[in-house]
Amino acid sequence: MTDQGSSRLISRRRLLKTGVAGFALTSAIGIAPRYIRPAHADTGLAPGMTGGPTGFAGAERYQYNPEMPEGRAIEGIKALKAAGKAPSKLVFQMSEGAIGQLTKSFPADAPTIQSVWEKETGIKIEIVGVASGNEFTKVMQDISTKGAAFDIYQVEWNRLGDLTEAGGLVNLDEYVAKYKPEWDDPKRGYTGGVQGVTLLNKYNGSHYAVSLDGDFQTWIYRKDLFENSKEQADFKAKFGRDLHFPETWDELTEVASFFHRPDKGLFGCTDLRNQGWGYTNWYQRYCSMAAPNKLLFDDHGKALINSPEGVKAAQGYVDGLKYHSPDAISWGWPEQYGNMASGNAAITCAFSNMPKFLDSAANAGSKVTGKLAAALPPGTRVNGKLIRRSVLWFNLMAMVSTQSKHPEAAYLFLQWLGGSRTFSWMSSNPAGYFDPFQLANFDDPLVQQSYHPYQVANIRETIKRAVPSINYAGASSYHKSLDDNLMAALTGNQTAEQAMAATAKAWDKVTRRIGEQNIVKAIQTSLPSWPTLVD
């Protein structure tokens, strides 16, 4: 992994050299493109670049010129300004824990992303934080009360359908056509190219959002525990096999229970079990129960979850509690991260940024720095094949509010922010939880540095096995009933069977309300993005 990274760096430098040679030549012939200014020492920009951060090692990787989406965005703003249609500021409603990535500099000697944008465009970005988990509520509040408090919303990807139907989001097709964000760039763009863009940014065939996140649930464990010879010996003695990260859900139960020592302040596993977040674990269990996937709906939009697989997944989800913190049911991910950080858990499943936060010298609060490792999700063996499924869920997106007076400027900011260069730089910043998801991000040395090669590699592999959760109209209702019923099962108010039956019933009701054909259409559009990889 590391070798690979460094080799990439080398090749990159070589490439740059040739690039410089290139300019020399062209300028010599005297057909220097008008927009290329000679790289003055004071701008600190690499030759050929017109904007971007400067003043720190590797800054050139994040610089751009008007040939690139970021550059085009800046040019677009300049045009708007010239036409007097540019605002003096944009209000950006952000998920609280991500704000740092815009407002804190990384690396230390770098400018902040916010400052770079404001310097180049003169448009101030006013950031308003929302406690994570309340994004949708806050946005719907703004939409339904016509609060017009924000130009840009940031909501999890699953709500795209509902928010669009609510009329809260601007259709971005026009701007996308005009400014070419190149999200599908095969080298730098979204994983899965066009398919990826459709999956993340589009609803009903139109662009409504710009992805700023890569929330593929990844599994993290304490390598200091797993590699501890005594632990290994004890485990072998107990289960007659070697101690390694579980491949199947049944193994997970064994391993987690093995490490579960609440009296010593150590919990076997601390993946989420709370309202609103926990059910991603059910997703991973359920979808891994058939080759290549266990689907949620059949071709007629009928729910398939009231099935042996659904019940098994729910049961596993509930049984998992016994190797969790007794507080797990009320813990959101902040508590989860805190619990992992204080070294009180052996395994967890979390957003891909956990190593960035907890395996970081900068985080004085963390006791697990240098002790983490990543792994693929546990899976299910289906006739000899091991099916492992993660889930794409939450995934913060940025959208332009229909109440914004300056949708175009707002979009341009997002194209700039979500461009593969700016975003590589931003996602590497440990001051927030926006996660890398573009090809260019994974290759970036800074990302590698803060996410650690082991996790970057793991993310790549996990994405290949990630199923999309529901994000079409009705998603809120679908997930709510799943969530409520699973919670009822967790608290023992109903059995796994009852939970699945009730959920399936509720789902079919929602489907009827929204209209079978719409749902079927939505399901069909999302099917191609389901993984096919089996181990």
Q: Which of residues 399-438 bind other proteins (CB under 8 A)?
A: 430-433
Q: Phi and psi dihedrals of 142, rounded to 5?
A: -65, -40
Bridge-based pairing state of the strands 206-207 and 267-269: unpaired
The site map against other proteins for 12-51 (x = CB under 8 A) is ----------------------------------------
H or E element in which residue 95 lies? strand 89-95
Environment class of residue 49 by beta-carbon count within 10 Å: exposed (0-12), middle (13-18) or buried (19+)?
Answer: buried
What is the closest distance, in whole angstroms, from the C-beta atom of residue 201 to other proteins in the complex? 20
Site for other proteins in 270-309 (CB under 8 A): 274-275
Site for other proteins in 141-200 (CB under 8 A): 141-147, 149-150, 162, 165-168
Q: CA–CA separation, 287 vs 389, rounded Å?
A: 6
Site for other proteins in 92-111 (CB under 8 A): 93-94, 96-97, 99-100, 103-104
Q: Does 136 bind other proteins (CB under 8 A)?
A: yes
What beta strand segments (E) does 192-269 contain? 202-203, 206-207, 210-211, 218-222, 267-269
Q: Does 468 bind other proteins (CB under 8 A)?
A: no
> What distance, in Å, lies between the first and last C-alpha atoms of the chain?
21
The residues with which 456 forms a beta bridge, in sequence order, are none
CB closer to other proteins out of 143 and 387: 143
Max CA distance (Å), the chain: 79
H or E element in which residue 4 lies? helix 2-29
Residue 29 in tokens: 């012939």
Q: Does 325 bind other proteins (CB under 8 A)?
A: yes
Work out which of 1, 24, 79, 131 binds other proteins, going by CB under 8 A: 131
What is the closest distance, in whole angstroms, from the C-beta atom of residue 19 to other proteins in the complex? 36
CB closer to other proteins out of 228 and 476: 476
What is the closest distance, in whole angstroms, from the C-beta atom of residue 110 to other proteins in the complex? 15
H or E element in which residue 521 lies? helix 516-526
Q: Segment near other proteins (CB under 8 A), from 131-139, 211-219, 385-393, 407-415? A: 131-139
What is the closest distance, in whole angstroms, from the C-beta atom of residue 67 to other proteins in the complex? 33
Residues with Cβ within 8 Å of residue 533, at least 6 apart in sequence:
292, 464, 465
What is the closest distance, in whole angstroms, from the C-beta atom of residue 421 to other proteins in the complex? 23
Work out which of 234, 327, 516, 535 binds other proteins, going by CB under 8 A: 327
What is the closest distance, in whole angstroms, from the C-beta atom of residue 28 to other proteins in the complex? 48
Q: CA–CA separation, 102 vs 435, rounded Å?
A: 13
CB closer to other proteins out of 150 and 245: 150
Number of chain positions touching other proteins (CB under 8 A): 78
What is the closest distance, in whole angstroms, from the C-beta atom of residue 417 to other proteins in the complex? 16
CB closer to other proteins out of 114 and 288: 114
What is the closest distance, in whole angstroms, from the C-beta atom of residue 239 to other proteins in the complex? 25
Work out which of 16, 488, 501, 534 binds other proteins, going by CB under 8 A: 488
The site map against other proteins for 339-378 (x = CB under 8 A) is x-xx-x--------x---x----xxxx-------------
Long-range contacts of 514-522 (CB under 8 A, 24+ apart): 514/473, 514/474, 516/300, 516/301, 518/472, 518/473, 519/297, 519/301, 519/472, 519/473, 519/474, 520/299, 520/300, 520/301, 522/161, 522/204, 522/472, 522/473
- Over the Cα atoms of the chain, what is R_g? 24
CA 312 to chain centre: 28
Work out which of 30, 263, 361, 383 binds other proteins, going by CB under 8 A: 263
What is the closest distance, in whole angstroms, from the C-beta atom of residue 326 to other proteins in the complex? 3
Site for other proteins in 221-260 (CB under 8 A): none
Residues with Cβ within 8 Å of residue 344, at least 6 apart in sequence:
265, 266, 267, 270, 325
CB closer to other proteins out of 293 and 325: 325
Work out which of 138, 222, 421, 452 binds other proteins, going by CB under 8 A: 138
CA 30 to chain centre: 45
Q: Does 330 bind other proteins (CB under 8 A)?
A: yes
CB closer to other proteins out of 143 and 426: 143
Helix (H, G, I), strand (E, B), or coil: what is residue 227? coil
CB closer to other proteins out of 420 and 494: 494
Q: CA–CA separation, 162 vs 95, rounded Å?
A: 19
Q: CA–CA separation, 424 vs 435, rounded Å?
A: 9
CB closer to other proteins out of 64 and 216: 216
Q: Does 319 bind other proteins (CB under 8 A)?
A: no
CB closer to other proteins out of 96 and 461: 96
What is the closest distance, in whole angstroms, from the C-beta atom of residue 69 to other proteins in the complex? 27
CB closer to other proteins out of 183 and 351: 351
Helix (H, G, I), strand (E, B), or coil: what is residue 134? coil
H helix and E strand count, the chain: 22, 15
Bridge-based pairing state of the strands 206-207 and 202-203: antiparallel
Q: CA–CA separation, 318 vs 30, rounded Å?
A: 71
What is the closest distance, in whole angstroms, from the C-beta atom of residue 455 to other proteins in the complex? 15
Helix (H, G, I), strand (E, B), or coil: what is residue 127? strand
The residues with which 468 forms a beta bridge, in sequence order, are 392
What is the closest distance, in whole angstroms, from the C-beta atom of residue 174 to other proteins in the complex? 19
Site for other proteins in 64-93 (CB under 8 A): 91, 93
Orientation angle between helical segments 420-427 and 445-464, nearest 10 degrees: 100
CA torsion angle 78 84 88 90 (round to 10): -70
Work out which of 75, 174, 182, 484 binds other proteins, going by CB under 8 A: 484
